[in-house]
Amino acid sequence: MPNGRTVLAMFVRLAWRNLWRNKKRTLIAGGSVFFAVFLAVAMYSMQTGQHDFMIESAVGMTTGHLQIHGKEYWEKRSLDQSMVLDTALLRRVASLPHVAAAVPRLETVALISRGTVTKVCPVIGIDPPSENAMTGIDRRVVRGVRYSAGGEGTLVAEGLARTLGVDVGDSIVIYGQGYQGVTAAQVIRIGGILHFAIPDLNNSLVSLRLPDAQDLLSAPGRITALAILLDSDGALDETADAIRAMADSELEVMTWREMMPELLQAIAADNGATVIMLLILYVVIGFGVFGTVMMMTAERTREFGVSIALGMKRRHMMAVTVIESMIIGMLGACAGIITSVPVTFYFHRFPIRLGGDYAKAMLAYGLEPIIPFSVEPMIFIGQGLVVLAIGAISALYPVLVLRRLEPVGAMRGARR
Amino acid sequence: MLAAIAWKNVWRSKRRSGIMIAAIAAGLWGGVFAVGMFTGMYDAMVAAAIDRNLTHVQVHAPGFREERLIGLAIPNPDSVVAAIRSNRGVETVSPRTVIEAIAASPTSTQGVSLFGVDPGSERAATSVSRRMVAGSFFEGGERTPVVIGRKLAEKLGVKLRAKLVLSFQRPDGTIVYGAFRIAGLFDTEATTFDGRTVFVRRADLDPLVGELLIHEIAVRIASNDSLEAVAGALSSRFPALRVETWKDLAPELKITAESADITMGIFLGVILLALLFGITNTMLMSVLERTREFGVLIAIGMKRTRVFGMILTETLFLSLTGAVVGVACGSATVLWFGTRGIDLSFFAGGLSLYGISSFLYPVVHPVMYPTVAIMVVVAACASAVYPGVRAVRLRPATAIATFG
């Protein structure tokens, strides 16, 4: 009696030979697994890529991945919760491995007027070089001098300028409350006009150089937030912890997840929908794979009958079919993953570009109208495993058939 | 004749046909369900936005939406409101004074959108009054009550019954201050709205403004289907005013709708591909299995085109049966979940954390059923072409000699 190892080796050899005895059948079955893996990977990669893109665009346009604030600033948004800009901390944050930009901002709400027209507007003091690295504010300057070209003055959003009836070179009055309740009032000359796609911003934003804003609001050396842009969202928690460790306890470190719960909700809802869509896809794929396995089994009923009649143990026959299914599944899944890698990488590098009104609307919001794919390794492995599991369940079918197989009837070609 | 043979063939091998029908039904079920999910998600989002503050149609003076200046009010508002009310299809009308104002608490100052409303009309037109988490929407007997979002209350650091000073610029350019007492807090699922919206009674606001100014007339209509008709009627009646539907007012909703459409299209494509491949495989196996049968048919003189036609007809029968089963299952699933809802937080952690409605109610507009069914039937027939060609190319002698 040969030992277990050689028996297994024999089964594998038998299974291998069975597979290549009928190449066409094997290719069809392997093809169904291949196609299933490919579709599942493509689908999931597209969804994940879209989410990453949503996060990246939203974060890059507004809050950054992380922000450091004075305690309670985020809830109260008052200058009294501002913090001192600690240049040593700024330098240390900027030198952290995944940090792409660290952007200090001093933000408040003030009255902007010209003549008898007054509007309530957000006024924000920025540091042009780092702000440019993150939100690219210079690209939004439609008239006047950009900061990078030596612009010194105040930038006013297009819609606000139109409402006030002002343009580059005119003066406006800023009136509001500064740090610790000091009145802030100043006449400022407009250095440039900004265009934003988001109507709220385009109708209201006023931006100053940080030192000018600090002067105006009697908050020398103070900022309300240090926004931090990372090179990848994957490093979010790790970087947040590192910053928490270096910042003193009077400051709070928030991630975009806390600052933009709407975005998180949107993504979570979409993720839920994605899971349901994948489940639907698995059902459809499952029927395809199962159908193939069933046909294969039906076709081989006579062969099974002969083998058993000749004295092959049912157990052994079952083992051989299971090994066959495993080989087909593995080959199909590997081929599917190997094929999907270049395809997803291609669409990751050169995303699908959308056209038509939708693209125009997205562009108007400052979003690129693209559908990028994600190439997160877990997508390939995860989807491959799921399809293999579907294959494994389908592989139970020949085992069940073998258990109840009637050799004589099977050889005669009787079909149940 | 061919159809009769094909129909008999379908039921000759019940198991094989069963699996094919099941595969097609599964594809169709998936398609219907996916369409239902996307439609449901979008419908819910639109309904929430319309109920919150948007309403179906809004009327403004030209330029108000861009500049939001207090002087850009609707001339003769009373007659305009009365005329809109008498319009067919209009359910409720809420005239609003809309002012960009500053809200000041003892600890903080915030820019806000101040809505002066008639509580009765506003209650009928929007859902804010049903989203109160503290106090009520102008039902108590307070003097100069104000209702604000919970989020704004947090920013201002104030609680119910606290005093709030609202200041804004009058049309003549002077700044006016008014003291109000917080009578209610609301919490809708829109953080931005909750963070900058303030409601007061117009009866309290008008004396501060000094005159009756209506900037916005929010119109709720009986059914979204008559949206364009009502908007068209109103805009031809008031050519000097700007009449806009929620589609113009909230372009981001339209963007979301189109993005959902694109994703849905891609997903349906993927499902069809998966189905196409599954059916091709099964049909190919079935043709291989029936090699001898086709060999005999060709040998006794059946024309190859007729053999091909027979295979296609079989597939057509299979896919039609599958389509009926699939549409039945799909609509049953959509109906089941449409009333009970799917809890998305079950699939995506973190969703319920923020207390928003994480339930998705699938809806399928009736026109989608035939569309999806036709797509699936066409896909099924397309996938029978290659197996059919294989069968037709058989050489009868070899085919008959084959096992099986």
Of A28, A203, A413, the CB nearest to B66: A203
User: What pLDDT was estimated at residue A413?
Assistant: 58
Q: Which residues from chain A sit within 8 angstroms of residue B342, using beta carbons?
A: 272, 276
More confident residue, B400 or A103: A103
> Between chains, do A295 and B16 touch, taking CB under 8 Å as contact?
yes
Distances (CA, A) of A50 to A43, A257, A281, B43, B342: 11, 17, 19, 22, 23
User: What pLDDT was estimated at residue A279?
Assistant: 84
Which portions of chain B are predicted below pLDDT 50?
350-356, 404
Q: Which of A30, A288, A296 is nearest to B279 (CA)?
A: A288
Amino acid type, A169 = G
User: What pLDDT was estimated at residue B262?
Assistant: 80
Kindly state the average pLDDT of the residues A296-314: 84
Angstrom distance (rounded) from CA B128 to CA B186: 7
pLDDT in tens, B227-265: 889 999 999 999 999 999 988 888 777 777 777 778 788
User: To which residue do tokens 């912890």 refer?
Assistant: A241
User: Within an 8 Å CB–CB cutoff, is residue B366 touching chain A?
Assistant: no
Q: Which of B358, B360, B363, B359 is nearest to B330 (CA)?
A: B363
Amino acid type, B70 = I
Angstrom distance (rounded) from CA B115 to CA B146: 10
Q: Which residues from chain B sit within 8 angstroms of residue A271, using beta carbons?
A: 347-348
DSSP A82-126: -EE--HHHHHHHHTSTTEEEEEEEEEEEEEEEETTEEEEEEEEEE
Q: What is the pTM of this model?
A: 0.76
Shortest alpha-carbon distance between residue B95 and chain A (Å): 23
Residues within 8 A of A (CB atoms), B 238-297 only:
251-252, 254-255, 258-259, 262, 266-267, 270-271, 273-275, 277-279, 281-282, 284-286, 288-289
Q: Which residues from chain B sit within 8 angstroms of residue A373, using beta carbons?
A: none
pLDDT in tens, A157-215: 998 998 888 998 899 999 888 888 888 889 989 989 998 877 778 888 999 999 999 99
Q: At what angle do helices A377-403 and A261-299 cross, to 10 degrees?
A: 30
Using the 8-state DSSP alphabet, how is residue B121 labeled? H
What Rg do the C-alpha atoms of chain B give, in angstroms?
31
Task: Give ipTM to 2 decimals.
Answer: 0.73
pLDDT in tens, A178-192: 888 888 889 989 989
Angstrom distance (rounded) from CA A75 to CA B391: 72
Q: Give strand pairing partners of B199.
A: B115, B147
Composition of chain A by helix, strand, coil, percent to 5: 60, 20, 20
Query: A282 CB contacts (<8 Å, ≥6 apart)?
Result: A40, A386, A390
Residues within 8 A of A (CB atoms), B 119-158 only:
154-157
User: What pLDDT was estimated at residue B346?
Assistant: 64
